[in-house]
Amino acid sequence: MTNNPKQPEVADIFRKYGHDYRQNNFLSSNQYKAMRHIEMCRTAALGGHTEACNHCGFEQNSYNSCRDRHCPKCQTLVKEKWLNARKAELLPCPYFHNVFTLPHELNPLILINKKVMLAILFAAVKETLQVFARDPQWRLVGQLGFISVLHTWNQKLTDHFHMHCIIPAGVLSFDKKGWIAGRVNYLFGIEPLAKEYQKRYLHKLEKAYAKEELSFRGAAATFADKQQFERLLNTLWDKQWITYSKQPFGGPEQVLEYLGRYTHRVAITNNRILSIEDGMITFNYRDRTDENKVKELTVKAAEFIRRYLLHILPNGFMKIRYFGFLASTNKKTSIALLRQLINLDAELTEKMKETVQEMMLRLTGVDIFCCPECGKGKMIIIKELPKPLRNTS
């Protein structure tokens, strides 16, 4: 009998090399907390309970999850619950997928001003789409609804700030009496959309600079000088900003499939990590410049940790946001109305009512309460395992 080697995990990297990294590098409080949470996830450090089988008496310890949104192991249940809630909001129409990317020249500023610079990104995208939805040249004059999802990485784990927008293909008329469907192949022209997005983002950035809302240190220190900042702005005005529209979704089921893949992603999933050996980390990535081929990349452990920590978001910063008729203040009334206006007889995916046990059985085929030893009994909690005294490094 051979034992399968354990899948390397981000947590293993942090446990093995994290202490040295923290001793030799500056971390924000958010980065420190996320790193420690991931290290402790599903270990005795977070406490848990002892379970025993009511049939054969087999016992095992089960430890608590950290529930940090940056932890690769803690997103499955959160994602499934979120997706289930979104089922009640799907509309019987095609959906479009637009992506808005920030130029890499802004990366040094963004990395030390995430709350301000990424809030500007959400605002610029929201205003751009809403302005286009009111412009008669696009045959849509009404209220648009969409979900925006922030991503901060590329496949090599470096900083690449962009936003995915999932947009129902039409608008609710301002008098709320009609649904105005968009074109079949696209909602808005990509080039004018990019120019409007560029204009709105840079105007907001100029205002933030004038109001002294930005910090300047490290690689961004040079931009504290007004002339250097103006040079940066000139470069950004001259640059062609990237906005593109992916193939439209065929219907609500494809939207759910997409959302399930992308909304609760962290910078890298554990199954992409291939090895942890001699201070080096090897992981796979898809090379977008070479027909999406899967390749391998090896970096030093410290560099892997540095890249991972680039994507830790500020406390309370929401990476998924809802706008227009999908905003939380509107959707309770607008969704039911829109379903009637678009297609009253359409069959819709309904929200499921299921326990955590049922959800895990559906996702993994494993009954989490079934005894792993005898396969007949049920695991019952017999003892709580408290957290040990706090130990920081």
Q: How confident is the model at residue 124 (pLDDT cuts 50, 70, 90)?
A: very high
How far is 178 from 191, CA to CA, in rounded Å? Answer: 29
- In this predicted structure, which of 63-67, 122-126, 161-165, 352-356 has the lowest mean pLDDT? 352-356
Give the per-residue pLDDT at 101. 97
Q: What is the pLDDT of residue 368?
A: 86
The domains of the chain are located at: 10-70+353-385, 81-267+310-343
For residue 393, what pLDDT is reported? 47
Pairwise CA distance, residues 374 & 393, whole Å: 41
pLDDT band for position 293 (cuts 50, 70, 90)? very high
Residue 390: predicted pLDDT: 64
CA gap 385, 393 in Å, rounded = 23
Write down the CATH number for the domain with range 81-267+310-343: 3.40.1310
Lowest-confidence range among 27-41, 97-111, 255-269, 330-344? 255-269
Q: Evaluate if residue 361 carries a pLDDT over 90.
A: no
**First-to-last C-alpha distance (Å) of the chain:** 39
Amino acid 391: pLDDT:
53
**CA–CA separation, 81 and 262 (whole Å):** 14
**DSSP class of 279:** T
CB 40, CB 391: distance < 8 Å: no
pLDDT at 357: 75
Instruction: Identify the pLDDT of residue 1.
Output: 35
Of 355 and 67, the one with more pLDDT: 67
Report whether 236 contacts 103 (CB < 8 A). yes
The answer on pLDDT for 91 being more than 70 is: yes
pLDDT tens for each residue of 231-263: 999 999 999 999 998 777 777 778 877 877 778
Predicted confidence at residue 4, as pLDDT, reads 54
Count of Cβ atoms closer than 10 Å to residue 128 Cβ: 25
* Chain centroid, CA 123 distance in Å: 17
Q: Residue 9: is its pLDDT beyond 70?
A: yes
Q: Which positions ≥6 away from 351 have C-beta within 8 Å? A: 84, 85, 87, 88
Residue 349 has pLDDT above 90, yes or no: no
Q: Note the pLDDT tens digit of each residue in 157-188.
A: 999 999 999 999 999 999 999 999 998 888 99
Higher pLDDT, 374 or 84: 374
Q: pLDDT tens across 193-217, in order? A: 999 999 999 999 999 999 999 999 9
* pLDDT attached to residue 2: 41
Burial of residue 331, with CB atoms counted within 10 A of its CB: 0-12 exposed, 13-18 middle, 19 or more buried: middle
In this structure, how many other beta carbons lie within 10 angstroms of the beta carbon of residue 23? 8
Percentage of the chain modeled with pLDDT above 70: 97
Q: What's the pLDDT at 250? A: 72
Mean pLDDT of the residues in the chain:
92
| Residue 97 CA neighbour count, 13 Å, CB half | 17
Give the pTM.
0.91
CB neighbour class for 71 (10 Å; exposed up to 12, middle 13-18, buried from 19): buried
Q: Is 305 a residue whose pLDDT tops 90?
A: yes
Between residues 125 and 80, the one the model is more confident about:
125
Strands (E), the chain: 48-53, 59-63, 95-101, 145-153, 159-168, 170-172, 179-181, 243-249, 273-277, 280-287, 293-300, 320-324, 379-385
Phi-psi region of 124 (alpha: psi -120 to 50; beta: other; left: phi over 0): alpha
